[in-house]
Amino acid sequence: MPVDIIWEDGNATIVIQCDGCDKEYEIFTSDTEGLEVCSFCGHYLEIDSESGETDDEDSWD
Protein backbone atom coordinates (compact mmCIF):
# COMPACT_ATOMS: atom_id res chain seq x y z
CA MET A 1 0.00 0.00 0.00
CA PRO A 2 1.87 3.12 -1.19
CA VAL A 3 1.95 5.91 1.37
CA ASP A 4 3.23 9.43 0.73
CA ILE A 5 3.46 12.25 3.24
CA ILE A 6 3.55 15.81 1.91
CA TRP A 7 4.87 18.35 4.43
CA GLU A 8 3.80 21.99 4.16
CA ASP A 9 4.12 24.70 6.84
CA GLY A 10 4.07 22.23 9.75
CA ASN A 11 1.04 20.39 8.38
CA ALA A 12 1.00 17.01 6.71
CA THR A 13 -1.09 15.44 3.98
CA ILE A 14 -0.94 11.64 4.06
CA VAL A 15 -1.81 10.08 0.71
CA ILE A 16 -2.60 6.36 0.78
CA GLN A 17 -3.44 4.22 -2.23
CA CYS A 18 -5.10 0.85 -1.62
CA ASP A 19 -3.41 -2.09 -3.36
CA GLY A 20 -6.70 -3.98 -3.60
CA CYS A 21 -9.12 -1.45 -5.07
CA ASP A 22 -6.75 1.36 -6.20
CA LYS A 23 -8.77 3.96 -4.28
CA GLU A 24 -6.72 6.89 -3.04
CA TYR A 25 -7.28 8.43 0.38
CA GLU A 26 -5.95 11.73 1.73
CA ILE A 27 -5.64 12.52 5.40
CA PHE A 28 -4.94 16.13 6.40
CA THR A 29 -3.44 16.90 9.81
CA SER A 30 -1.81 19.78 11.65
CA ASP A 31 -0.88 17.49 14.56
CA THR A 32 2.09 15.51 13.22
CA GLU A 33 3.55 14.41 16.56
CA GLY A 34 3.86 10.62 16.62
CA LEU A 35 2.79 10.29 12.98
CA GLU A 36 5.55 7.78 12.27
CA VAL A 37 4.16 5.32 14.83
CA CYS A 38 0.54 5.44 13.65
CA SER A 39 -0.50 1.95 12.62
CA PHE A 40 -2.60 3.34 9.76
CA CYS A 41 -0.83 6.29 8.14
CA GLY A 42 2.75 6.16 9.30
CA HIS A 43 3.65 2.71 10.60
CA TYR A 44 5.71 1.77 7.54
CA LEU A 45 7.59 5.07 7.26
CA GLU A 46 10.85 6.31 8.69
CA ILE A 47 10.52 10.07 9.16
CA ASP A 48 13.37 12.49 9.70
CA SER A 49 11.56 15.08 11.80
CA GLU A 50 14.10 17.82 11.07
CA SER A 51 13.98 17.60 7.27
CA GLY A 52 10.52 16.05 6.89
CA GLU A 53 11.99 13.55 4.43
CA THR A 54 10.64 10.02 4.41
CA ASP A 55 12.12 6.67 3.47
CA ASP A 56 9.37 4.29 2.42
CA GLU A 57 9.58 0.74 3.67
CA ASP A 58 7.48 -1.96 2.06
CA SER A 59 6.54 -4.29 4.88
CA TRP A 60 4.58 -6.58 2.55
CA ASP A 61 7.67 -7.95 0.77
At CA 12, angle to CA 52 and CA 32, rounded to 5? Answer: 80
* Residue 37: pLDDT over 50: yes
Of 38 and 60, the structure prediction assigns the larger pLDDT to 38
Rounded-to-integer distance, Cα 2 and Cα 43, Å? 12
Cβ distance 26 to 5 under 8 Å?
no
Rounded-to-integer distance, Cα 38 and Cα 29, Å? 13
| Predicted confidence (pLDDT) per residue in 42-55, tens digit | 554 554 544 555 55
Q: What is the reported pTM?
A: 0.50
